[in-house]
Amino acid sequence: MDSQVIQWPSQMAKVAQLIVQQVTSVHNSRLGVIGQKACRVLEDMQALQRCRSRLDTCLWRGWLGAAKSVAEEFQSLTRNLPHELDQLKSALEHRDGHMPRLRDVFEDLQQLENEFGEIRWCQERKILAVTTEYIVLEDIQLGPFEIRLDISRLNRLPSDRPYSIVALEPHPAASNDSITHPHVSDEILCAGNAGAAIVTTLSTGRICDFFVLVRSVLTTYNPNSPYVSLDRWEGVACEDCGYTVGSDDTYYCTSCEQDYCGDCISSCHNCQDSTCRSCLEECPICGDSYCRSCMTRCPDCRQAICSTCLDNRSCSCHEEEQEETSNGTNQDKDQPPRASQAA
């Protein structure tokens, strides 16, 4: 980005003016939405008024059938009205009474300069940027980040996120180059607890507060919800061969609960759970590999076999039994029938 350090009050004043224009546009559009929502409520209320007049007429003339049908219209309108009122209430809650003055925004930019040392401006792209300190989280060096605010997109708030986070000395996660910070992916910050305050600061022109809030997110690690956790930032060492792989390329053995690389992982022939080679056992009957949960013992000979072979009574001791039974049956066939049977 071709940007320059803002050095002169006149440059700062121009940027402040642009910010005020954009924020004013957000306010105008929000006020416009309030008008639209209010119109819908009024239309519903006028319809209610018309219904009431018609109901009075029907009752006065004794048209009970028609009165019933008007009552149904009432029902439909009263169902709709609370929804329209909620929409109006929501639009009113999202408006903000604090319209920034040019002087406020100018002073905000001066404060921003004090907080961050210098501020940069890209005239062509209308981007205001500051640089954070060198960030280290849990001994992982992430480097400094540039927080870029696209002033030309401020008027698209709150649906748009007009800012980006650029790693100046990127040290991305081993598993994903686009993740340069546990809470930044593809230069987009997932602001978490700061989300609401960030929208408020931008839509009220409190530019310095916005940058300070973003810096607070960047200098804090939330281990409960990172794109990639810091303990896996450098990748994960395979428990078997020791080779370091990105966390997306690791496989978890459900038996020993350790991480393995693609070459050292296999799967259970029965449940298909990923299992490391040392946790797999070969069934002596069918020759396939199974995890510990899918291996069992033959209740008769106590030999370790897979549950499928047990169900199929394929254990060698059962085969012997079957052979014996089969031989016995053949011998029976050779013997002459007993007298009672013959009778």
Partner 1 sequence: MRILFINNDGAGFADYVEIADGTTVEKFFAQKLPDRQASDFLIRVNRQPVAKDYVLQEGDRVSITPTKIEGADAAA
- On the 0-12 / 13-18 / 19+ scale of CB atoms within 10 A, 287 is exposed
Please choose, out of 53-61, 105-113, 272-280, 300-308, the segment that lies near partner 1 by the rule CB under 8 A: 105-113
Residue 212 touching partner 1 (CB under 8 A): yes
Name the residue with tokens 């350090």: 5
The DSSP secondary structure of 136-184, one letter per residue, reads EETTEEEE-EEEEEEGGGGGGTTTS--EEEEESS---BTTBTTEEETTE
If the CB atoms of residues 208 and 298 are measured against partner 1, the closer one turns out to be 208
The CA radius of gyration of the chain, in Å to the nearest whole number, is 37
Please choose, out of 5-13, 21-29, 210-218, 331-339, the segment that lies near partner 1 by the rule CB under 8 A: 210-218
If the CB atoms of residues 217 and 264 are measured against partner 1, the closer one turns out to be 217
CB of 53 to partner 1, least distance (A): 44
Evaluate whether 121 touches 128 at the Cβ level (below 8 Å).
yes
Dihedral sign of CA atoms 112, 116, 119, 125 in order? negative
Q: Tokens standing for 66?
A: 């028609």
In the window 61-100, what residues touch partner 1 (CB under 8 A)? 98
CB of 184 to partner 1, least distance (A): 8
Closest of 130, 213, 232 to residue 173, by C-alpha: 232
In which region does residue 242 sit, left (phi positive, over 0), alpha (psi from -120 to 50) or beta (all else)?
left
Residue 107 touching partner 1 (CB under 8 A): yes
CB of 4 to partner 1, least distance (A): 24
Residue of 9, 192, 262, 328 interacting with partner 1 (CB under 8 A): 192
Q: Is 243 helix (H, G, I), strand (E, B) or coil?
A: coil
Residue of 154, 189, 264, 268 interacting with partner 1 (CB under 8 A): 189
Contacts (Cβ under 8 Å, ≥6 apart) of 51: 70, 73, 74, 77
Residue 188 touching partner 1 (CB under 8 A): yes
CB of 277 to partner 1, least distance (A): 33
If the CB atoms of residues 144 and 304 are measured against partner 1, the closer one turns out to be 144
Residue 132 touching partner 1 (CB under 8 A): no
If the CB atoms of residues 56 and 186 are measured against partner 1, the closer one turns out to be 186
Residue of 197, 237, 304, 317 interacting with partner 1 (CB under 8 A): 197
Site string for partner 1, 213-232 (x = CB under 8 A): x--xxxxx-x-xxxx-----
User: Which run of H or of E encompasses 24?
Assistant: helix 9-61
- On the 0-12 / 13-18 / 19+ scale of CB atoms within 10 A, 12 is buried
Interface residues toward partner 1, by CB under 8 A: 98, 107-108, 110-111, 114, 182-183, 185, 188-194, 196-201, 204, 206, 208-209, 212-213, 216-220, 222, 224-227
